[in-house]
Chain A
Amino acid sequence: MTQQSDGTHVNTEKVPGRTVGFTAMTLIILAVAFWMSRESSRLEINDSGEAIATGPALEGFRSDAWYLPDDELLGFVAVAAGSFIMGSNPALDRMAYENERWSNLRRQGSVDLPTFYISQFETTISQFAVFARSSGLDISNIDLTGAGNLPIAGITWTEALAYAYWLEQQLRESIETPAELRTFLESGARVTLPNEAEWEKAARSTDGRVFVWGSQPRTGRANFNSDALSPVGALACPACSYGLSDMAGNVWELTRSPLQDYPYDPADDAENLSADPLYVMRGGSYSDPINNVRTAVRGAADPGVRSDTIGFRIVISTL
């Protein structure tokens, strides 16, 4: 360049052509397009939850059957049709809360239920992880890093329901499904959360016991008053009704019943729609004292709440 008298510069050499610059610009645009299409694929993979690990094989559970228990009925236990006593009698149970009373006139009520199947164990991390991976569930708020046989916790009520619906699809479509369960499903049953009555009957059987192991407070049969979750079925409880594990303690178990005053009547579950929904949870958790792990105790949770003390188990029910 040379300087002119007015202070500006005039180029005396050849100015570089535009070809190189134009080519560079075109390459940048193509690279951007390529990169964005890659990002697009990456987003899709994240959305489908491919990154979720289900962990290694678990003793006592079938990795080829959605990590359900390795027994004839994939961990489901039949509860025969019939009536049972629901609610608390403060004369027999000094720890009873007011919301366990049947009515102003009666302490307890009798509820008749058809046959249903309930899972022997609380739903585990491995089981939920299979569902999350398969369905593409957003797991950003769920901790799936614990041992596979720990109960899943920190899920919402809607996620628990979603798991149940997903499992129903699997059971209906799979050849692995035991004939007994398949027949029951084909008769109109569905996989879902237990309602309050189903849960309570499974917990206290027909003898009206206060605790799942009997009517006297005991330790060593359930995980309560402790500071951590234990693997499902870790504590033996031969006296527990229907051979179910962890119906007391470990995690509160969500039900499909909205919290309403007794007497229990599922017919009014879909009434008063303008009220805030709260769903009953049962059984207490590892961090609760013994009065909260009684069979009749009624807690409740907002359907969107997450807590490391709240999990669930499933039933196959015709109701």
Chain B
Amino acid sequence: MATQPRRKRRKSAAQGAQSSPPDQHTTGFALGNFRLPLILIAVLLLLSFTSRVQQSDVLVWSFVAATVVLAFWLGYLLLLSSRRQEIHDFTVVLRPQHYVQALVQISLYIYWGYYWRPVYEHAWLIIAQLLFAYTFDILLAWSRRRDYTLGFGPFPIILSINLFLWFRDDWFYMQFLMIAVGFMGKEYVRWQREGRNVHIFNPSAFALGLFSLVLILTGTTSLTWGQEIASTLTLAPNIYTFLFLIGLVVMYFFSITLVAGMAAITLFAFSALYNASAGVPYFLDSDIPAAVFLGLHLLITDPSTSPRTPLGKTIFGVLYGLGVFGLYTLLEILGAPTFYDKLLCVPLLNLSVIAIDRTVRSIKSASLLNVWRADWMGGRANLAHMSVWIVVFAVMTLLGRTDGKHTGDSLPFWEQACTDGLPNGCERLVQLKSTYCNDNAAWACNELGVHYRQGLIVERDVGQAQVYLSQSCELKFKAACANLLDNSLVLTDDPHELDLRLLLREGGLNLMSASLDELHVRACEHDWQFACDSNGNNL
């Protein structure tokens, strides 16, 4: 979500105009009007001298290149303005949908970053992106001979992009390009909707969707922090509740409940249906991945790129839920990272908005059209929608479908699912073990090595087996070392203490301070038989 319904925007614009006396922003042509972008460019350049940016030469040069491009563009406009005697000006409009959204996003960064420090280390780079975005947006508006609407508009776009994807330092120039494409998409990809010329795509979702597609097609996901971002949100305790609460703020102010709520309800419903029929969770270790839960609050709730009618919003939310649900499997089949599921369908949904509006208009049944405006809502439809959403979320939480331990967190569950031949049981087992092996759980690496050596649940690959066994052995898992020495062995062992600290984290932080007894109790809750036996012996 980046903007707000027309009715409120007009009000905000009026307030903004009142707070900015005309003589402050109609000073005629002078360097004064160019002072702001000039200062922004200078600060961007100054940021390249911070220790965070100086860590990487490519990062420094990315900043310098961005600065040079913007400076040339500014110089060109200055020259043109001077020749044509044009005035480039600002209109100050502080829209609540921008600054409220930005505050909500910043609160998420603070909470998430407290548990995953790379977020805080990324702060300087986010500030740089904001400077770049403001300057780019100003220059784009002036190049189009429009006054620039100065407010908090770029904040939700930049903060939203960075909640899903950021490039590693050695490819950070791509981040600037992604922002540029987002703003250009907003400026140049437009259509007539209800008699108004509006942008088709949500700017952040457009940039994220396009770049995600390119990353998938070129197999370069590793150039970004996308996977880490998607998987570290749950390091923050009770992240679903946190997202739910900050989502309520946005829902209350900007009436996005139908879109976000219906998307979530659709996903919960389909996850539950799949679980009931297949016996295993659809998503690996959640009913809705936390990053998807975040996405349905941020990426599809922009009023200018989503339907306006209540029924249209409902359809839009449901379609997003279905889109994420389908893309997850599609990406898995294609061997692409599944975390792109929440990003790829948004531009397609944006394109379907006119069709949805048209469909809704074609419905002749007044009762159907007004189902969300029934009398029992007492004329406060949004509050009623929010109440329903609160009840749904509370029920899902009570059922253990949001925060806390999830069935899919338990490795023995997936072992059993694989043995029983349940759908995706073995694939998810291998996927989960790969995740833990990447985190240096020696037990998981040995298990993978054995799987690849045996070739029973994955295609036999002796080389890959050796890689995993070596990693496990170097992490002091003796069974793996023995397996390495004799190609005919497939020795396994129970997880060691350090392994348990990783394997039992349930999506949260590693359990580095838990005692061995506490680990064994928790392991027993995860159905690790050796831990239950150990607990029994201790009693």
Residues on A lying within 8 angstroms of B by beta carbon are: 1, 3, 6-9, 11, 13, 15-16, 18, 21-22, 24-25, 28-29, 32-33, 36-37, 39-40, 43, 156-159, 161-162, 165, 192, 256, 258, 269-270, 272-277, 279, 302-304
Inter-chain contact A36/B485, CB cutoff 8 Å: no
The chain B residue with its CB closest to the CB of A276 is B476
B253 within 8 Å of A by Cβ?
no
Instruction: Evaluate contact between B218 and A165: CB separation under 8 angstroms.
Output: no
How far is B146's CA from A106's CA once the two chains are assembled, in angstroms? 96
User: Chain B residues with Cβ under 8 A from A9's Cβ?
Assistant: 26, 87, 89, 147
B481 touches A165 (CB 8 A): no
Cα–Cα distance between A290 and B121 once the two chains are bound (Å):
51
Q: Sample 7 A-B pairs with CB under 8 A, ordered by A number.
A: A3-B87, A7-B25, A13-B145, A273-B491, A277-B476, A302-B476, A304-B476
The minimal Cβ–Cβ distance linking B181 to chain A, given in whole angstroms, is 6
When A9-B147, A29-B181, A165-B466 are in contact, do A156 and B493 touch as well, CB less than 8 Å? Answer: no
Chain B residues, CB < 8 A from A21: 140, 143-144, 184, 187-188
B274 at the interface (CB under 8 A from A): no
Contact A39 B171 (CB under 8 A): yes
Q: Are B174 and A32 in contact (CB under 8 A)?
A: yes
Q: Chain B contacts of A165 at CB under 8 A? A: 466
A274 to B481, CA, bound (A): 12
Whether the Cβ atoms of A273 and B218 lie closer than 8 Å is no
With CB as the reference atom, state the residue of chain B lying closest to A2.
B87
Contact present for A157 and B219 (CB under 8 Å):
no
Which of B40-48, B255-263, B467-475, B515-523 is the interface stretch? B467-475
CB distance from B272 to the nearest CB of A (A): 38
CB of A32 within 8 A of CB of B177, answer yes
| Beyond known contacts A37-B218, A40-B220, A302-B476: 20 more, CB 8 A cutoff | A3-B26, A7-B26, A9-B26, A9-B89, A9-B147, A21-B187, A25-B184, A33-B214, A36-B223, A37-B220, A157-B474, A157-B481, A161-B470, A256-B485, A258-B481, A274-B496, A275-B478, A276-B476, A277-B477, A279-B481
* Residue from the list B185, B220, B469, B473 in contact with A25, Cβ < 8 A: B185
Q: Is there contact, CB below 8 Å, between A39 and B220?
A: yes
What's the interface size class on B, roughly? 35 or more
Smallest CB gap from A195: residue in B: B485
B485: A residues at CB distance < 8 A: 161, 192, 256, 269
Contacting A274 at CB < 8 Å: which of B189, B478, B484? B478
Q: How far is the CB of A115 from chain B (nearest CB, A)?
A: 20
- A105 shortest CB reach to chain B, Å: 29
CA distance A274 to B491 in the complex (A): 12
A2 to chain B, nearest CB (A): 9
Instruction: Please provide the 9 A-B residue pairs with the shortest distance between their CB atoms, ordered closest to farther.
Output: A7-B22, A304-B474, A158-B470, A25-B184, A277-B478, A36-B218, A270-B482, A22-B188, A273-B493
Let me know if B211 is at the binding interface, CB within 8 A: yes
Which positions 124-179 of chain B face chain A at CB distance < 8 Å?
Answer: 140, 143-147, 171, 174, 177
The CA of A182 and the CA of B85, in the complex, are separated in Å by 88
Beta-carbon contact of B484 and A158 below 8 Å = yes
Chain A at the B interface: SS class: mixed
> B484 CB to closest chain A CB, in angstroms?
6
Residue B381 lies at the interface, judged by CB distance under 8 Å to chain A? no
Which residues does chain B contribute within 8 Å of A7, judged by CB atoms?
Answer: 21-23, 25-26
Q: Chain B residues near A13 (CB, 8 Å)?
A: 84, 145
CA distance A270 to B484 in the complex (A): 11
Task: Find out whether the CB atom of A157 lies under 8 angstroms from the CB atom of B218.
Answer: no
Residues of chain B having any CB pair with chain A under 8 Å: 21-23, 25-26, 28, 84, 86-87, 89, 91, 140, 143-147, 171, 174, 177, 180-181, 184-185, 187-190, 210-211, 214-215, 217-220, 222-223, 466, 469-470, 473-479, 481-482, 484-486, 489, 491, 493-494, 496
A272 to B479, CA, bound (A): 9
Tell me how many residue pairs across A and B have CB atoms closer than 8 Å: 137
The answer to whether B210 touches A29, judged by C-beta atoms less than 8 angstroms apart, is yes
Within 8 Å by CB of A304, from B143, B475, B484, B491, lies: B475
Q: A162-B466, A274-B494, A304-B475 are in contact. Are A24 and B177 (CB under 8 A)?
A: no
Instruction: Tell me what chain B mostly uses at the interface: helix, strand, loop, or mixed.
Output: helix
The minimal Cβ–Cβ distance linking A100 to chain B, given in whole angstroms, is: 23
The answer to whether residues A15 and B475 also contact, given A36-B223, A40-B220 and a CB cut-off of 8 A, is no
Residues on B with beta carbons closer than 8 Å to the beta carbon of A40: 218-220
Asked if B22 and A43 sit within 8 Å, CB to CB, the answer is no
In the complex, what residues of B have CB within 8 A of residue A269's CB?
482, 485
CA distance A203 to B470 in the complex (A): 28
Closest A residue, CB atoms, query B497: A274
What CA separation (Å) do A274 and B442 show in the bound complex? 12
Query: Is A28 in contact with B184, judged by CB distance below 8 angstroms?
Result: yes
Q: Could you say which residues of chain A place their CB within 8 Å of the CB of B477?
A: 277
Q: Which listed residue (B180, B466, B474) contacts A303, Cβ 8 A?
A: B474
Q: Which residue, A7, A21, A43, A159, has most C-beta atoms of chain B within 10 A?
A: A7
Q: Provide the residues of chain B in CB contact with A33, threshold 8 Å.
A: 214, 217-218
Chain A residue at minimal CB-CB distance from B496? A274
From residue A272, how far is it (CB to closest CB) to chain B in Å?
7
Please name the residue on chain A nearest to B217 by beta carbon: A33
Q: How far is the CA of A125 from the CA of B23 in the complex (A)?
A: 76
Given A33-B217, A39-B171, A16-B474 contact (CB < 8 Å): no
B-chain residues with CB within 8 Å of residue A8 when the two chains form the complex: 22, 26, 89, 91, 147
Option from B185, B215, B478 in Cβ contact (under 8 Å) with A258? B478
Please determine whether B188 and A25 come into contact, CB atoms closer than 8 angstroms: yes
**A43-B220 contact given A276-B476, A302-B476, CB 8 Å threshold:** yes
Q: Which chain A residues border B187 with CB–CB below 8 Å?
A: 18, 21
Most chain B CB within 10 A, of A8, A11, A39, A273, is at A273
Nearest CB of A to B80, in Å: 11
**B220 touching A36, Cβ below 8 Å:** yes
| Min CB–CB distance B3 → chain A (angstroms) | 20
A40 to B211, CA, bound (A): 15
Q: B174 to A303, Cβ gap below 8 A?
A: no
**B464 → A minimal CB distance (Å):** 12
Which A residues lie within 8 Å of B190 (CB)?
18
- Name which residue of chain B comes closest to A19, CB basis: B188
Most B Cβ at <10 Å: residue of A11, A22, A158: A158
Known contacts A15-B144, A158-B470, A276-B478; A39 and B223 CB within 8 A of each other: yes
Tell me how far the C-beta of A5 lies from the nearest C-beta in chain B, rounded to whole angstroms: 9
Query: Closest CB of chain B to A151's CB: distance in Å?
Result: 21
The answer to whether A1 touches B188, judged by C-beta atoms less than 8 angstroms apart, is no
Chain B residues near A277: list those with CB within 8 A.
Answer: 473, 476-478, 481
**A190: min CB distance to chain B, Å:** 9
C-alpha spacing A272/B491, complex, angstroms: 12
Structural contact, A16 and B181, CB atoms closer than 8 A:
no
Residues of A within 8 A of B174 (CB): 32, 36
**Chain B residues closer than 8 Å to A16, beta-carbon distance:** 143-145
User: Which residues from A are CB-within-8-Å of B496?
Assistant: 274
Which residues does chain A contribute within 8 Å of B21, judged by CB atoms? Answer: 7
